[in-house]
Amino acid sequence: SQKIEQNSEALNIQEGKTATLTCNYTNYSPAYLQWYRQDPGRGPVFLLLIRENEKEKRKERLKVTFDTTLKQSLFHITASQPADSATYLCALRNTGGFKTIFGAGTRLFVKA
Amino acid sequence: GAGVSQSPSNKVTEKGKDVELRCDPISGHTALYWYRQSLGQGLEFLIYFQGNSAPDKSGLPSDRFSAERTGGSVSTLTIQRTQQEDSAVYLCASSMGGIADTQYFGPGTRLTVL
């Protein structure tokens, strides 16, 4: 069955360091991969989208890579700040429809 | 304009009762999604509406769950004969409707079934 795996353990890093979050998937050939941020008690907020034919996408301090051979995406936050502390969700969508599959998310804590 | 809104924000009900959850999408958005998020879990797709097309109901967990979208705008998710395992946060999202478009989420409705 289709499966998305994100590290269930929280990631704790020091302010100023680069945070790297991983999203792995199996039994799926996504056309698009998205990353969302979710704060406690709120709905997810879209951050970045990367297409299957793109290797890397950047937006300010954020960088996403997409390796369709490894079936993996990496999400990087450079120069991390305490305000970056949140849960980050990976989401996949194929070309066959609009159904989006989300991972369970990884909790990030950035310490000052 | 305003974002996606959902009501109520919290709902506590007794097992066996019916509940209705409401979603007001962003004006002009043709696509609307419902998801369920249980504690520590990812978002579980429930149903998708796009314009006047037949909805994709493939994620509804049982026939106790149904949803409608009136006039291409407001949507209501109905859960009949609620069970304790229905307790979760129910999230609604809307989008412009393109295949690679961004989904804008509401704050969710936290449903607790006693």
Q: How far apart are CA A105 and CA A43, in angstroms?
A: 13
Please give the average per-residue pLDDT across A64-78, as a whole number. 95
User: How would residue A39 be classed by pLDDT, with cut points 50, 70 and 90?
Assistant: very high
Cβ of B91 and A43 within 8 Å?
A: yes
Q: Please, are residues A34 and A46 in contact by the beta-carbon 8 Å criterion?
A: yes
Residue B78's beta-bridge partner residues? B20, B66
Nearest to A42 among B41, B99, B107 (CB): B107
Cβ of A43 and B99 within 8 Å?
A: no
Query: Contacts of residue A44 in chain B, CB cutoff 8 Å?
Result: 43, 91, 103, 105
B10-13 and B109-113 as β-strands: parallel, antiparallel, unpaired?
parallel
Which residue in this structure is represented by tokens 């996504």? A30
DSSP structure class, residue B86: G
Cβ of A105 and B93 within 8 Å?
A: no
Alpha helices per DSSP H over chain A: none
Query: Contacts of residue B41 in chain A, CB cutoff 8 Å?
Result: 104
Nearest to A99 among B45, B93, B104 (CB): B45
Cβ of B99 and A45 within 8 Å?
A: no
Cβ of A43 and B4 within 8 Å?
A: yes
Q: Please, are residues A88 and A21 in contact by the beta-carbon 8 Å criterion?
A: yes
The span from the first CA to the last CA of chain A, in angstroms, equals 41
Alpha helices per DSSP H over chain B: none
Return the percentage of chain A with pLDDT > 90, whole number. Answer: 74
Distance of CA A78 to the CA centre of its chain: 14
Nearest by Cα to A36 from A26, A45, A25: A45
pLDDT at residue number A96: 64
Query: Contacts of residue B93 in chain A, CB cutoff 8 Å?
Result: 43
Which residue in this structure is represented by tokens 């793109």? A54
Residue type, B11: K
Nearest CA in chain B to A43: B107
Per-residue pLDDT of chain B (114 residues; tens, 9 = 90+): 589 999 999 999 999 999 999 999 999 899 999 999 998 778 999 999 988 888 989 899 999 999 999 887 999 999 999 999 999 999 999 998 777 778 999 999 999 999
